[in-house]
Structure 1
Amino acid sequence: MIWRALLVAGLLAGGQAAAATEDFLVTEGKLSAEDFYRLVSCRALPGGPCTVEPVRWPSRRAQDLTVGFAPVPHGYPPGMVRRMAAAVDHAIAEINGAGAALHLRRAYRGETPDILFHLAPVHEGDAIEGTGVLGVDGQVIGAALVTVWWDDALDLTQAVIVMAGDLPASDVVPVVLEEMSQAMGLMTDIRNPYYEAISVFSEDSNAVVRLGPQDKEALRRHYPPEEP
C-alpha cells in the first residue's frame, strides 16, 4: 500500500518469536485463486513453497471474534475517532459478508476484544508509545501497524492494530479494512499493478474499500464454511 503497514508477528511468551521484515511479495498479472491464497496466507510466490506457517483463529473463536478500541488518548483528533469507528464497522460487515466461517462483532462494554485498536496520537515515521503492549511500543509506524500472536498450534490468540493520527481521511476505510483482513491471518500484501484497484491486499494502492473476489475467496479458503 502507499501507506505501508508494518507487520509484526510473534508467538506467546515461551515460544519462538518471529517478525516480518517485508510484508509483501512482487508478482505480475492475475494470479490463480490458489496462488493468490498461498501468497497472502503463507508468503509463497506462484509455484513456490510457503515461507511462513499459516496461522488462523481457531474455529470456535472465529465464529465470535470481538473487535474493540482501547481508551483514546488525549490529543487524538476527535473527527478521526469517528471515522475510525465507522471504518471498523464497515470492515466487520465486509469480512462477515465474505462467506467464510467467520463472524466478527463489536466487543461489549467490559469485554476484552480479540482484536484491539489503539488510536495513537503519532504521525507516520514516529515510534509508537503509550499502548503498554510489549513488541508494539517502540515500533515505527507508517499508516498503521498490526501485531498478531499465536500459540504452538498456530492458532491466533490476539491481534493489536495501531492507527496513526495523521492518516488521510480518504485512506481510513481502505487501511482499516486491510489491517482487519490481515488480522485474520492473511498477512502478506501483493505488489502487482493488476490488483491495485481490486484487492485490499495491494501494497501500492489505497483505492480499495470493498473486499475483491479473490480477497473473499482467500478468506473462505482460510476459514472454510461448513458444507450444507
Structure 2
Amino acid sequence: MALLLAALLAAEVAGAGENDFLATEGRLSDEDFHRLVACRAPPGGPCALDPIRWPPEVARDLVVGFAPVSSAYPSEMIGRMTAAVDHAIAEINAAGAALRLRRAARGDSPDIVVHLVAIHEGEAIAGTGLSGVDGQTIGAALVTVWWDDAADLSRAAIVLAEDLPGSDVVPVVLEELTQAMGLMTDIRNPYYDDRSVFAEDSNSVTRLGSQDREALRRHYPPETP
C-alpha cells in the first residue's frame, strides 16, 4: 500500500517508519470508520492525530494537476494514470460531500500535484523538487500533504511509480486522491478488503465504498439549503 507522509508547516514530517494503518475486526460503525481514517482513532478510542481538512473555500474548487512528465516515463502509463485521476475525481465529487475537484486548466496553480516519476517500486524518489518527498523510498505510490496551524490543508503531492501493475492503477490512484482529502489512515481488516479504498492489504476497490463516501461526507459535511 502507499506510504503516507504528512508535513506540518512544511517543517515536521511523519517518517517512513510510522504505521499508517490500524488493525480492526469486522464491520465498524460509520462513526468509528470515519474517526479511524480521519484521526487514527481505534474503535471507541481517542484520536492519535488532529483531523485536517481543506478549508471550505478551497474544498469547493480543489484543483488537481500533473507535474511535467519525464520522457523516460512509459507513455502508455501516462494515459492510464490520466484516466485514473479523472475517474477518482468523479468518484469523490459524487460522494455528496462539500467537495468539488477538477482538473487544472491553463494558468491554474494546482492544490494537488500528481508526479509521474520514472522510478520503480522500492527505489528512492528523485526529481520532484519537494523537500520531504525526494529521497523517500516509494512503494506503489506516495501521498504527501501539508497543513497549517489551523489544521487547514494547503497543498498535496501524489507520486506514482512507473511499474505500477495495470490492474492496480485505478484502485491506487483512487486511494491516494481520497487520502489527499485528509483521510490519511488505512484499515487492516479483511472485511474491508473488497469494500473500501482504505483497505491496507488490498488494491481491488475501484469505486468508493459506502463507508468511504460517508467518511467524506462527515469530513466535509454537505451544505444545507
Give the TM-score, by structure 1 length: 0.96
Q: Deviation of residue 18 (structure 1)?
A: 3.7
Structure 1 residues 25-68: Cα deviation after superposition (integer angstroms, max 9, x where no partner): 00000000000000000000001100000000000100000001
State the distance in 1 between where 2:59 and 2:107 align: 20
Q: How many residues align?
A: 223
- The aligned residue for residue 10 of structure 1 is 7
Say if 2:96 is the partner of 1:77.
Answer: no
Give the counterpart of 1:59 among 52, 56, 61. Answer: 56
State the distance in 2 between where 1:18 and 1:38 align: 21
Structural mapping, 1:69-218, within 5 Å: 69-218=66-215
- The aligned residue for residue 46 of structure 1 is 43
Letter in structure 1 aligned against 2:183? L
Report the 3-state secondary structure (helix = DSSP H, G, I; strand = E; otherwise coil) of the residue aligned with 2:138.
coil
State the distance in 2 between where 1:10 and 1:134 align: 10
Q: Structure 2: any 5+ residue segments left out of the alignment?
A: none
State the distance in 2 between where 1:175 and 1:109 align: 26
Give the TM-score, by structure 2 length: 0.98
State the distance in 2 between where 1:192 and 1:222 align: 22
State the distance in 1 between where 2:184 and 2:162 align: 23
Q: After the TM superposition, which parts of structure 1 deviate over 3 Å for at least 4 consecutive aligned residues?
A: none
Letter in structure 1 aligned against 2:123? D
State the distance in 1 between where 2:158 and 2:219 align: 20
Percent sequence identity is: 71
State the distance in 1 between where 2:127 and 2:224 align: 45
Give the counterpart of 1:19 among 14, 21, 24. Answer: 14
CA RMSD of aligned residues (A): 0.8
